[in-house]
Amino acid sequence: MGVEAVGVEAVGPSLGDVTHAGVTPAQYLDPDISSGLPWRDLPVVDGRDPSLAELLAIAEGDPAEFEVPIVPWPLSGPRPLDPGTGIEGGTTEGTFLTVWDGQRLRARNAAVGGDYVIGLGCAPESLDAPSSGPREQILLWHLNHHPDGGQLFWSVDGRPFLVPVVPVGDDPDLERAVVARSDGSFGICVLPGVWHDGVYPESGDGDFRTRQGRVHARVSADVAGEFGCLLRIPLSH
C-alpha cells in the first residue's frame, strides 16, 4: 500500500545541499521518485479569486483573443534592451492532452512537442498495482516555470480543470502553493515566472489547448528529490 500521510509536513534535504539540474525529456517520462514520501495537500481555490491575481490571469470569452504575456529575460549587464526587443519570439499554440495510463497521468503538449508524466494516482511504490473506482487525487513530483512568458490553458470540451500555481521565486515556496480551479467556462493563464506544472482534468482524461512563449524556456524543480515530498491535488466527484 502507498503512504497515507496526507498533508504531512515535508521532511527532505536542505535546499542548500541540493544540486539543481534540469529535467531531461527522458526523466519527464520516467521520473525517479523515492518510495515512502509524505504528501502535502494543496488547497483548491476558484481561479477567479482575487487572491490569485499575482499568479494568473483569467481568459473569458474567445481564448483566441487572449494575449499571453511575453517578457524579456533579465539582463546580465547594466545596459538596457533596445525598446521592443527581446520579446519577438511570439507564442505557439497546440493541443495539451492528458491521458491516464494506469496510475500515471501522461501529458502531450503539441505546442512544444512535449511528452511527460505529470502526475501519479497513488504512491510511487504502488504504481503497478491494479486500480479500481474513481481517482481521489493526483500526486505531483515536479514544478516548472517559464521566464520568457505566460502559459494559457483552456478546456476544449468545457469540463472543469485544475492548475497548480506557486509564487515567483528562485525556489518554489510550497507553503504558498495552491491549485486554481476552472469550472470549464474560462481559461487560466499562468503568469511569467510563476511555478506550475501543466493542466489537470478534474475527472477522467483531459482535452485542452495551450498557448505559450515560442522560445519555451523552462526552469524545473524536482519536488520529490529536492523537498522530499509529493504535492497532492484532491479530486472531487
- 213, pLDDT greater than 60: yes
Q: Give mean pLDDT, residues 142-165.
A: 96
Classify the phi-psi angles of 191: left when phi > 0, otherwise alpha if psi is within -120 to 50, otherwise beta.
beta
Average pLDDT, the chain: 90
Domains of the chain: 24-71+89-234 (2.60.120.480)
- 153, pLDDT greater than 50: yes
Contact 234, 44 (CB under 8 A): yes
pTM of the model: 0.89
Amino acid in the structure at residue 87: I
Work out whether strand 151-155 and strand 187-190 pair parallel, antiparallel, or are unpaired. antiparallel
pLDDT digits (tens, 9 = 90+) for 7-36: 444 444 444 455 567 889 898 899 999 999
- 6, pLDDT greater than 90: no
| pLDDT attached to residue 11 | 44
Show the cell assigned to 150. Answer: 505566460
Contact 40, 8 (CB under 8 A): yes
Inter-CA distances, 26 with 114, 116, 176, 222, Å: 11, 9, 29, 14
Please count the other Cβ atoms lying within 10 Å of the Cβ belonging to residue 87. 16
Cβ-proximal residues to 44 (8 Å cutoff; 6+ apart), any chain: 162, 178, 179, 181, 233, 234, 236
pLDDT digits (tens, 9 = 90+) for 70-127: 999 888 899 999 998 999 989 999 999 999 999 999 999 999 999 999 999 999 999 9
| Helix, strand or coil, per DSSP, at residue 105 | strand
Q: Give mean pLDDT, residues 200-213.
A: 96
| Helix, strand or coil, per DSSP, at residue 64 | helix
